[in-house]
């Protein structure tokens, strides 16, 4: 007999004569002559209540079933005699697959996120984390669907890269050298002996490679892990995280902003519709204002202001900032928070930043002072998208590389794309975990990724 998932039982519209359910026991309560067993199989938030009568041949064993134990239940799906649930299973057989000892760390009552992080291998068995990771899966699907509907192609860009510096942050080294006996040449590690014959790192972005495919397939995107070896200790940063990076040929900065806004709104709409009961859990127990926040984002036009206008708003705000607002320096977190949470109270796209504070690949504007960069800021998360129109003019790109001290030889292939049929193109990076935080109201990135990697933390 094939097992049926609890998801399909809870929305059943008629009783069933014979069902087989397998899952983990959340709690068990005794009554006179029978026992209530709450079983969850991870297919949905809901448990199914099982009635195990004392006439069952192994009732003595059934009475030893503890929280966390795995069971297989055969019986009838019948209308529940008690309140609180529509259906329950009148068990005809309860097989104990394995008993969890009393040391099982998950209890019926609420645990703190900090404690659950120390048992990341068990936390998906809780209501909250089960819901979060079901949503994570649905959100991934929604991303692929969004791009496919619009004719984008999915590109697998490399995880290991030979580019010494991709412009963002410190990188993790990839090597097969024996770290206890590193071969030396001229007083330095000799990478000629290494696997690739030169230094290799984990990627910090698939952008440069994705650009090559945008200039061939038109509209493309990547969706995969990226790595930053920054010693960041905040609730919004992880050393390993997932990023969505669309890249579009024949697209300027306006088109880029349009896509970013549309993407965020569409993903929120999708999740509110397709993950309704899981989202409701977060709206009830994690952030009471969650639904209002999500609806507000879906309904509002994102504010779009140039960097100079943002600086003006901040200067005229009469708000005491720890760091002074000044043209030419990057916006501090407190400035971004002010714009998106206080001044506008909705998502804000800041664009056209001074070129001195942005990387070499961003397109220089006609004023020769700013570049076509854009950051999407949302309340409670901060920067969720960072992107730009790319510099497609060979000479200017080459000049910017010289200015920022990048070795031209390393990027010969990137420059060549500007030599052969170069076209205006744009793209951005969306932080997938930050999107998860936005959607669920969970305020720590370590709680929206299955096994988080942060400085000094690589357990599991």
Partner RNA sequence: UCCCCAGUAGCUCAGUUGGCAGAGCAGAUGGCUGUUAACCAUCGGGUCCGCGGUUCGAGUCCGUGCUGGGGAGCCA
Q: Which residues bind RNA (CB under 7 A)?
A: 27, 29-32, 36, 49, 51, 66-67, 80-85, 88, 90, 102, 105, 107-112, 114-115, 117, 168-169, 205, 228, 230-239, 241, 243, 323, 330, 332-334, 336-337, 375, 382-386, 429-431, 433-434, 443-446, 456-457
Q: Determine contact, residues 54/31, Cβ cutoff 8 Å.
A: no
Least distance from RNA to the Cβ atom of residue 229, Å: 10
Compare residues 22 and 111 and give the one whose CB is closer to RNA: 111
Compare residues 166 and 194 and give the one whose CB is closer to RNA: 166
Compare residues 135 and 435 and give the one whose CB is closer to RNA: 435
| Cα 431 from chain centre | 6
Contacts of range 102-106, beta carbons closer than 8 Å, 24 or more positions apart: 102/66, 104/66, 104/67, 104/68, 106/67, 106/68
Compare residues 26 and 418 and give the one whose CB is closer to RNA: 26
Least distance from RNA to the Cβ atom of residue 223, Å: 13
Cα separation of 100 and 259, whole Å? 49
- Residue 44's closest CA among 87, 11, 6, 88? 6
Q: In which residue are the tokens 């071969």 written? A: 183
Least distance from RNA to the Cβ atom of residue 418, Å: 21
Compare residues 194 and 452 and give the one whose CB is closer to RNA: 452
Coil/strand/helix, residue 328: coil
Compare residues 103 and 318 and give the one whose CB is closer to RNA: 103
Least distance from RNA to the Cβ atom of residue 245, Å: 9
Cα separation of 122 and 1, whole Å? 29
Compare residues 83 and 187 and give the one whose CB is closer to RNA: 83
* Cα Rg, the chain, nearest whole Å: 27
Pairing verdict, β 34-40 and 160-161: unpaired
Compare residues 66 and 289 and give the one whose CB is closer to RNA: 66
Least distance from RNA to the Cβ atom of residue 174, Å: 18
Q: What angle is formed at CA 127 by the lines to CA 121 and CA 129, rounded to 5 degrees? A: 45
Compare residues 330 and 403 and give the one whose CB is closer to RNA: 330
Residue 233 token pair:
């200790």
Coil/strand/helix, residue 65: coil
Least distance from RNA to the Cβ atom of residue 333, Å: 3
Q: Which letter, b or e, does each residue of 338-354 get, where b requires 16 or more Cβ atoms within 10 Å of its Cβ?
A: bbbbebbebbbbbbbbb
Least distance from RNA to the Cβ atom of residue 410, Å: 19
Torsion of CA 348, 448, 299, 274, to 10 degrees: 160
Q: Determine contact, residues 379/365, Cβ cutoff 8 Å.
A: no
Least distance from RNA to the Cβ atom of residue 118, Å: 7
Per DSSP, which regions of 166-295 are E strands? 173-174, 184-185, 188-189, 200-202, 219-227, 240-249
Compare residues 102 and 316 and give the one whose CB is closer to RNA: 102
In the DSSP assignment, the letter for residue 294 is: H
- Residue 367's closest CA among 353, 350, 385? 353
Least distance from RNA to the Cβ atom of residue 447, Å: 9
Least distance from RNA to the Cβ atom of residue 44, Å: 16
């Amino acid at each position: 007999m094939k097992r049926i998932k609890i998801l399909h039982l809870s929305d059943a519209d008629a009783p069933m004569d014979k069902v087989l359910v397998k899952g983990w026991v959340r709690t068990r309560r005794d009554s006179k002559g029978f026992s209530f067993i709450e079983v969850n199989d991870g297919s949905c938030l809901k448990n199914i209540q099982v009635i195990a009568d004392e006439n069952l041949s192994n009732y003595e064993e059934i009475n030893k079933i503890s929280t966390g134990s795995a069971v297989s239940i055969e019986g009838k799906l019948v209308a529940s005699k008690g309140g609180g649930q529509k259906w329950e299973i009148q068990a005809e057989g309860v097989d104990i697959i394995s008993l969890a000892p009393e040391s099982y760390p998950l209890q019926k009552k609420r645990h703190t996120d900090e404690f659950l992080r120390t048992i990341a291998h068990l936390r998906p068995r809780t209501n909250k984390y089960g819901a979060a990771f079901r949503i994570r899966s649905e959100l991934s699907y929604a991303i692929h669907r969004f791009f496919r509907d619009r004719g984008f192609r999915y590109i697998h860009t490399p995880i290991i890269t030979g580019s010494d510096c991709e412009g963002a942050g410190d990188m993790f080294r990839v090597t097969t050298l024996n770290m206890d006996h590193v071969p030396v040449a001229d007083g330095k590690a000799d990478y000629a002996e290494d696997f690739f014959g030169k230094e290799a790192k984990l990627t910090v972005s698939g952008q440069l490679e994705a650009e090559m495919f945008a200039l061939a397939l038109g509209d493309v995107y990547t969706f995969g892990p990226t790595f930053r070896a920054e010693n960041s200790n905040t609730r919004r940063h992880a050393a390993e995280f997932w990023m969505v990076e669309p890249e579009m040929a024949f697209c300027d900065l306006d088109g880029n902003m349009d896509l970013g806004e549309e993407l965020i709104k569409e993903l929120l709409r999708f999740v509110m519709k397709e993950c309704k009961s899981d989202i409701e859990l977060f709206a009830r127990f994690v952030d009471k204002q969650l639904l209002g926040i999500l609806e507000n984002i879906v309904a509002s036009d994102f504010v779009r202001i140039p960097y100079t206008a943002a600086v003006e708003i901040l200067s005229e705000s009469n708000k005491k900032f720890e760091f002074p607002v000044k043209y030419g320096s990057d916006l501090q977190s407190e400035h971004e928070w002010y714009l998106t949470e206080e001044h506008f109270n909705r998502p804000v796209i800041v664009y056209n930043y001074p070129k001195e504070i942005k990387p070499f690949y961003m397109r220089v504007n006609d004023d020769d002072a700013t570049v076509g960069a854009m950051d999407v800021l949302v309340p409670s998360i901060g920067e969720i998208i960072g992107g730009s129109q790319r510099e497609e003019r060979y000479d200017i790109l080459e000049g910017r590389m010289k200015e920022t001290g990048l070795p031209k030889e390393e990027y010969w292939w990137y420059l060549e794309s500007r030599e052969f049929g170069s076209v205006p193109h744009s793209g951005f990076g969306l932080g997938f975990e930050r999107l998860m935080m936005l959607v669920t109201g969970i305020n720590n990135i370590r709680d929206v990724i299955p096994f988080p990697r942060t400085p000094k933390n690589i357990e599991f």
